[in-house]
Structure 1
Amino acid sequence: MTTMAWLGEPAIQHLCRSDDDWRPVIRLAGPRPPPSAPQRSPYEALARAVIYQQLHGRAAAAITARLLALYPRQRFPQPAALLATPTEMLRSCGLSARKIETLRGIAEGRLAGIITTRAKALRCDDEALIAQWTQLRGVGRWTAEMVLMDTLARPDIMPVGDFGVREGWRLLKRLPTQPTPAALLESARPWQPYRSTAAWYLWRVVDLSRAGALPG
């Protein structure tokens, strides 16, 4: 890929037109990758997101693998099967009591229709899905936003409650403190309708800063 190949993507073009500070970051970080699991159902995606919350990726992957091993005939535990699994078996996978409670709530939400199929979710707008999913105990707006961005590939999600997103903007603009969620939401207006891509690059700003590669 040439150094300017990224300019062919509409989202990148839009961000660069909105603020020149995006350009060096985009050059260093490269193109945003496609969704990691675009065919997952919202039910599975929400459940996996809960497992990964506040854990290192490797630890969460190990817990997920142990959970899946309990259901060898299912690609991912179906709601009824998950609800029928004794707490002790779920705890043996490394899940905390709180996460077990949340996973069961997600399973109940799928059976009750609060969590729809992927096909139906694709026809709903972002805020409607967030409102549905956050009815479930333990599922907050951040979790819903991550599923919208990664699994449903929604292009205009701005997770202003995310520490890394706010820190990325602080570093990019050399601010003394992180912006408040409301302030970042206002700053993000020019990035519409590609705020999901902007959020991804703000996470990369943090990565580049930790590696000492952030442009000065």
Structure 2
Amino acid sequence: MCFRRSSPLIHSIGPYEGGLRPADSPFEALCEAVAYQQLSGKAAATIYGRFRSLTDESRSLDPLLVSKLSEEQLRGCGLSRAKSAAIQDLSAKTLEGVVPGHASLAPLSDQDIIDRLISVRGIGPWSVKMYLMFRLGRPDVLPQTDLGIRKGVMRTYGLPKMPTPKQVIVLAEDWRPFRTLASWYLWRSLELDQ
């Protein structure tokens, strides 16, 4: 197992520096997740900043206000047509109660939260797992389809080729109940000199 305190990977990276990034609501966190999907951090931050400028940035993101934004306004921020539709659906489902507040989600199991939130257009298991890891602080979440996780596993374990998500799941059994922490180290491992 590569995730013991004495492991070379942990020694090279150092102590965990992550933490929770609070959001006022699941709606706000998932809007940000949609904006960041499949983009570099810098590009996504710019687009999300433009999106937030359409709302009162000093306040929590309001699904009612967002639901009133036109597709043209959303697209003008740099959001794709698909992401604009996802944010509109997220607004509607939040207003309908399908996407509740943190307090209602917190007691649910990880799988129950995933099952509930993937009913929103554009929100898949990866986005929900990021929410579970970095907003709810769930300790045992594994985003096995994440390219960075798969590359990190390949590098850390010295594999000749990229592991499949199923292979990542098998390897990650040894990391329970701290797969979130192991994932953070795998992402960080990609920043190390080779």
TM range (shorter): over 0.9
Q: How far does residue 49 in structure 1 lie from its aligned partner after superposition?
A: 0.5
Task: For residue 155 of structure 1, give the secondary structure of its aligned residue in structure 2.
Answer: coil
C-alpha contact (below 8 Å) 2:20/2:137 kept by paired residues: no
Which stretches in structure 1 are left out of the alignment for 5+ residues?
Answer: 1-13
What is the Cα deviation at residue 114 of structure 1? Answer: 1.5
Q: Distance in 2 between matches of 1:180 and 1:49?
A: 24
Kindly indicate whether the alpha-carbon contact (under 8 Å) linking 1:39 and 1:151 is maintained by their aligned counterparts in 2: yes
Is the radius of gyration larger for structure 1 or structure 2? 1
CA distance in 1, matches of 2:137, 2:20: 10
Contact 1:38 1:153 (8 Å CA) reproduced:
no
Aligned partner of 1:58 among 36, 42, 45:
42
Matched, 1:81 2:65: yes
Counterpart position of 1:67: 51
Q: How many residues align?
A: 193
The two structures, once aligned, show a CA RMSD in angstroms of 1.8
Q: Does 1:197 align with 2:185?
A: no
In the other structure, the counterpart of 2:79 is 95
Residue number in structure 2 paired with 1:25? 9
Q: Percent identity?
A: 37
| SS at 1:50 equivalent | helix
The residue that corresponds to 2:141 in the other structure is 157
SS in 1 for 2:167: helix
| TM-score for the superposition, normalised by structure 2 | 0.92
Alignment pair present for 1:173 and 2:161: no
Q: Partner of 2:98: helix, strand, or coil? A: coil
TM score, norm. by length of structure 1: 0.83
Query: 1 CA distance for matches of 2:58 and 2:95?
Result: 17
Q: Are the counterparts in 2 of residues 50 and 99 from structure 1 also a CA contact under 8 Å?
A: yes
Runs of 4+ in 1 over 6 A off after TM superposition: none
Residue type at the aligned position of 1:59: A
- Aligned partner (choices 72, 86, 106) of residue 90 of structure 2: 106
CA contact (8 A) 1:43 1:115 kept: yes
How big is each residue's C-alpha offset from its partner over 1:21-49, in whole Å with a ceiling of 9 and x where there is no partner?
A: xx111112122224352244211111101
SS at match of 1:15: coil
Pairing 1:120–2:108 present: no
Partner letter of residue 175 of structure 2? W
Q: Which runs of 5+ in 2 are unaligned?
A: none
Instruction: Give, in whole Å, the separation in 1 of the partners of 2:90 and 2:13.
Output: 35
Contact 2:21 2:134 in 1 (8 A): yes
Q: Amino acid of the residue matched to residue 29 of structure 1?
A: I
Q: Secondary structure at the match of 2:3?
A: helix
